[in-house]
Structure 1
Amino acid sequence: MASVVYPERRWAWVEVDLNAIRKNTRAFKSLLSRGTKMMCAVKADAYGHGAVECAKAMATSGADQFAVATVDEGIELREGGVTQPILMLNESPVESVAALLEYDIMPAIYTTDFAFAYGEQAVRMDKVGKYHLAVDTGMTRIGVLPEEAVEFRHSIDFHRGLECAGTFTHFATADVIGDWDFKQQAKRFEDTVCALRDAGFDPGLAHCDNTPGTVLHPEFHYDMCRVGIGLYGLQPADTTAPRIQLTPAMSVRARVTRVINPAVGEGVGYGLTYRVPKPNIQIATVPVGYADGLARTLSNNMDVIVGGVRARQVGRICMDQFMFAVDVNNIRAYHPAERVERGDVVTIIGRDGDEEITADEMAERRGTINYEVVCNFSQRLDRVFV
């Protein structure tokens, strides 16, 4: 950690290991047959990891296209120098169609009103608006229904401002081996693509496998796979862990801003939910809080690592800070005085010495998934790329 350049204005940051991003990207690319493309999801600022920097690292390691969730996310990639095709995984307000065309961002399309607005704007700008047709095979989120896909294409394909570059769906249970609903969704998608071709329509790139699908269901790789959370070194499910080895890319660290030795019985934080139980307990303050993505529900229910040793978080997590406790009599020596000091580096997620706190551990304590944990660490924390 000595080589990390700490942010100058705040003692808290997110470290992103771009070598881990590259390694994970290559690991997924190796699962695909020659000619099968890989679309890398960098929505939500690359799941909290920094979209432009991660996309550039992925582009050198096998990424063919990128997926985002909003127009602004696509614009950020373009302005950051990303040149590969970009798919926005839903429709945006019709007022945004000019921006989509200006920045060459393909929307998902599943309503005629949006399709016509997009096509008309493309004609006005002397362009052809490429899009991917979204098919709702059972997730009940976005898309045309399978039985309506052919008619939908009939209703919009006459427009000279539109060009279908792909057809896709999204699986709800790709991580469940042998799941009936997954098999039904896969069959519906296959039938839809076949029906489009039989009707004389080019479906473009057919893609349906998400991260767990890419690992567990190679029979549905089709023309392209969409990979997300695994690129950042996190498993989408327990079922994928034995099949692919990944390296977590995110660490969250901060430095101690204050250390005090309160008297026995003194309380800590709002509501005084923790009281000092005995002498020689240090209470250290760290400048990270729930406004940065450290969930308040973790209060009195998480560890941090300092000097290679776990320490217990105590008191309620505040908006901008939290506290942890160190028993000076029991901690293994890492300072000559065996005490935490102001300026010491604290690891909230990541490895320090032999200890590691993972996003999965934090997710389990929060009762959520690792996706949410890493996405929650907000832009208020500087990204340091290592």
Structure 2
Amino acid sequence: MRENNCPPDRWAWVEIDLGAVRSNVRAFKKQLESGVRMMCVVKADAYGHGAVRCADVMSKAGAYSFAVATPSEGVELRKSGIEEPIVVLSEPPISAIPMLIEYDLEPAVYTTEFALAFGEAAADAGTVGKYHMAIDTGMHRIGVTPDDALDFRHAVDFHRGLTCAGVFTHFATAEVPDDWDFRMQCKRFIDTVNALKSAGYETGLIHCDNTPGTILHKGMQFDMCRVGIGLYGLHAAPITASYIDLKPVMAVKARVTRAIEPEVGEGVGYGMTYRIANKGTQIATIPLGYADGLARELSNRMDVIVNGTRCPQVGNICMDQTMFAVPPASANPFAPSTRVDYGDVVTLIGQDDDEAITLDDMAHIRRTINYEVACDFGLRLEKIYV
């Protein structure tokens, strides 16, 4: 199997299916109650998928707003032409305020010091700084505690340079059925929102449901849902898989740069952690490694797919290169045999004929989550959009 859609300077790449992104946005929009808006989370370069290209597709598919982790991520979207509201999901340092104002970014806010500095700078610039008030309902990561919410608003709401564009919290266990902590977070959030409204404070758009929450807890959708990992065809937890049809967006591929048949007993890679056991075994090399997101802990524990056949990765994964073995037909006469040649396409994540390897498969081996695996592959490998 050969393909031409790879970078000219390196035979390793991430393939991003923009049609799948569009399909996933539409699938989540069908999960929303009438009038509920969708915030698409594109932080960390859209979880390694490419924020600019993905946001463009999401915008055309009906996203109301976008969420990022840093002001710089928001600036990148603005410079690419994104005009929808952009929310920074944590409170940045005060030194970032000029950037927020210049590019009309809406930060999460939970300290009076930042809020007042933001308001002062906005007023000086002849504008109003829009912010989203973060409520810490139990995750204890960021936010104003429910007990302090009214005092916080009393301390900042006098400022003519500020307006509350939203109130939000983040759930720690939205994917856990009948979870006590989730119910407690919901109660604390609802009580806090009601207290703010009763005291006459503006709440803006109320939002708390994340990817699993949007699917499983429609009663908490309020004005807007923040959808993240699901937009990229990945589930935050297996429980949501039966509720929504998502299409995988990311594939990781490379092409063979060398294929040889070492003698029996020869070792492969640093530390010689694999040795040739059968005559005729091919050892093939592909040009990507742990600096590209293929974690070294996967060494001798994962497969790749080439010409529709699974082959074991062998030897320690290197920083920039990885080897795999192609057993001879004599090693297992009942298994499909294949030979690889220079330039053959190798699939690390994705489907080739009837064989497939998913980000979830790799995350399981690494004892982590699909989020991390996707982000890792997005760090250095060039992205090819299809």
The normalised TM-score by structure 1 is 0.97
**In structure 1, distance between residues paired with 2:191 and 2:227:** 23
Q: Any conservation in 1 of the 2:210–2:225 contact (CA below 8 Å)? A: yes
Question: Which residue is equivalent to 2:60?
Answer: 60
Q: Distance in 1 between matches of 2:202 and 2:17?
A: 40
Structure 2 counterpart of 1:185: 185
Q: 1:3, CA displacement in angstroms?
A: 6.6
Give 2:307's aligned residue.
307
Shift of 1:4: 5.0
Tell me, in whole angstroms, the C-alpha distance in 1 between the residues paired with 2:311 and 2:62.
Answer: 40
The answer for the alignment partner of 2:281 in structure 1 is 281
Q: 2:326 — aligned with what?
A: 326
Could you say what secondary structure the match of 2:238 adopts? coil
User: Helix, strand or coil: the match of 2:240?
Assistant: coil
| CA deviation map 1:220-275 (0-9, x unaligned) | 00000000000000011011111111111000000011111000010001100000
Determine the structure 1 residue equivalent to 2:230: 230
Match of 1:7, SS state, is coil
- Tell me the distance in 2 between the aligned counterparts of 1:378 and 1:222: 33
Structure 2 distance, partners of 1:63, 1:277, is 55
CA offsets per residue over residues 270-301 of structure 1, 9 Å max, x none?
A: 10000001101000001110000110000000
Partner of 1:382: 382
Q: Once superposed, what is the RMSD of the aligned Cα atoms?
A: 1.1
CA shift for structure 1 position 378: 3.5
Alignment of 1:249-268 (within 5 A): 249-268=249-268
> How far apart in 2 are the matches of 1:46 and 1:343?
30
1:198 equivalent in structure 2: 198
Q: Which runs of 5+ in 1 are unaligned?
A: none
Identity across matched positions, percent: 62
Question: Quick one: distance in 2 between partners of 1:275 and 1:383?
Answer: 34
1:140 and 2:144 aligned? no
Per-residue Cα deviation, 1:152-192 (whole angstroms, up to 9, x for no partner)? 00100001110000000000000001000000000000000
Question: In 1, Cα distance between the equivalents of 2:313 and 2:5?
Answer: 26
The amino acid of 1:179's aligned partner reads: D
1:2 deviation in Å?
Answer: 6.3
Aligned amino acid, residue 133 of structure 1? M
SS of the residue corresponding to residue 339 of structure 1 reads coil
1:45 aligns with 2:49: no
Give the partner amino acid of 2:370: N
Change in Cα spacing, 1:306 to 1:2, as seen in structure 2 (3 Å) is closer
Which residue is equivalent to 1:120?
A: 120
The CA deviation at 1:332 is 3.0
Matches within 5 A, 1:85-164: 85-164=85-164
- Aligned-residue offset at 1:380: 1.9
| TM-aligned CA distance change 1:2 to 1:33, over 3 Å | farther
Q: Secondary structure at the match of 1:363?
A: helix
Which residue in 2 is equivalent to 1:31? Answer: 31
Contact 2:299 2:315 in 1 (8 A): yes
1:32 alignment partner AA: L
| Corresponding position of 1:72 | 72
Which structure 2 segments of 5+ residues have no match? none
**3-state secondary structure, aligned to 2:193:** helix
| Partner of residue 20, structure 2 | 20
How many angstroms does 1:309 deviate by? 0.6
